[in-house]
Chain A
């Protein structure tokens, strides 16, 4: 009898995560949807004019900024992350690996406000002095993000590389390939789906990151045309305006949240499918 009750309770608890996910989806949509209907979906997505005081809500500039920051971060972060993953998985003696892997993962533990702060006092002045512009820029944001997503990508890629059967590598080496040739021609292709999953999860982290981006991106509301332009992403708009917004303005911020949520869920589901295919 007691066993049955315990099992019922545990079953109930087990659905808490999926239940919360549903609840989050419902709440974000319920809060944000009215403004999308009022503005019209195309106007909301494809107008770059965001003027809360005039009740005009178009988020195109923010979507483009978010995507630009994310892609630039991926462009800079992925090579570095893969370099770390290959070094640690292949060139590094096991004794050193158990120290270096958690060290790199520690980068994920540094709070995003600390990254943002260091970006402002160290990186932004460099960009301002050497490349021009206000310094607070797309470039600064994506450089900080590249470092922030590196541990995610490195860590999953290491697992993917280590999951390739040893036979593959031994086969290549036995055929006379050098270690690097074996990595480039055999190991990396075999680990491809894992590495792609890692990059997708890195993208999801970058597009959702808020505090670090707010601090270094400059937050100017326009479509960026160069790397040194200040940008304002979806996340920063939500965070900056939530505090004082009301009425339709607040609803519009939730609507921006819906768009962000859809991006993230699409990336998560894609990563999930890739993982399963393996």
Chain B
């Protein structure tokens, strides 16, 4: 029997919408499940006291501090490299063999799984440089992971700055570098910041890179040469070793909440910027 094309279309459309709905349903289920189980665990003491007894009681302060350290170190290295690359690609060169090579490098780097980056960071920073498991080793390895994202988003926001801005600046006698720092970058800044903020969201959830390079010490880190455990690593250890389910849920809820807030804010900022330039 052959179905009438219009009936077929109706069935297919219903099926496709059902599948899409289920996918979105999975996302909401994940978020709701984590929030329902985890949010009740969160309190002032949970956030602002250090873990006690391997994380069975107390809070997660040390892991929050380690996470902030790691992200700070990673951005300290990745931002200038990424921004510099983006400026070079957009303002200093034409599409050609050089840009092809750079783009290939960036795209391939973005595709390297975090476990390979973890191995690399372990071999170079932990062993070869002798820094051991430390926030510095972890932060540097994390910066390799963030670099492609920062290059891509910075490049996009610099390209979006209208050409007239540069022409006016040149006609007023400003040099190329002055034009970039005084005219182009300020206009592109919101987009660049959005990219950096999104890369923070990625770092918050990362585990494989960090566990081999920053270790998993639960003490409050006093310097970047000490080992530290991020929230995501803490959650992994709590859940995998069955140390404390309530603590694990609480940590997971904080992770998901932060990632949700950052993504929504970044998305709204991006929409706002797109409106401004179109």
Contact = CB atoms under 8 A, between A and B. Distances in A.
Interface of A: 2-3, 6-7, 9-11, 13-21, 23-24, 27-28, 30-31, 79-80, 83-84, 86-88, 91, 98, 100, 102-104, 106-107, 109-118, 120, 122, 147, 150, 177-181, 201, 204-205, 207-211, 214-215, 235, 238-239, 242, 253-254, 257, 260-261, 264-265, 267-269, 271-272
Contacts of A87: 16-17, 19-20
12 contacts: A13-B88, A15-B102, A17-B81, A18-B104, A83-B15, A83-B20, A106-B27, A111-B232, A114-B30, A178-B9, A210-B114, A264-B113
B205 A17 contact: no
Interface of B: 5-6, 8-9, 12-13, 15-17, 19-20, 22-24, 26-27, 30, 33-34, 80-81, 84-85, 87-89, 92-93, 101-102, 104-109, 111-120, 122-124, 144, 147-148, 151, 175-177, 201-202, 204-208, 211-212, 232, 235-236, 239-240, 248, 252, 255-256, 259-260, 263, 267, 271
B147 A107 contact: no
Nearest to A269: B108
A63 B90 CA distance: 41
A7 B239 contact: no
Contact of A111 (B15, B101, B111, B255): B255
A238 B106 contact: no
B256 A178 contact: no
A268 B87 contact: no
Contact of B260 (A106, A267, A271): A106
| Residue from B88, B206, B232 whose CB has the most chain A CB atoms within 10 Å | B88
Contact of B208 (A104, A210, A253): A210
Nearest to B259: A109
A211 B78 CA distance: 24
Determine which residue in A24, A104, A215 has the highest number of CB atoms from chain B within 10 A of its CB, and name it: A24
Contacts, number: 232
A210 B20 CA distance: 26
B259 A3 contact: no
Contacts of A88: 20
Given A88-B20, A106-B263, A111-B259, A147 B26 contact: yes
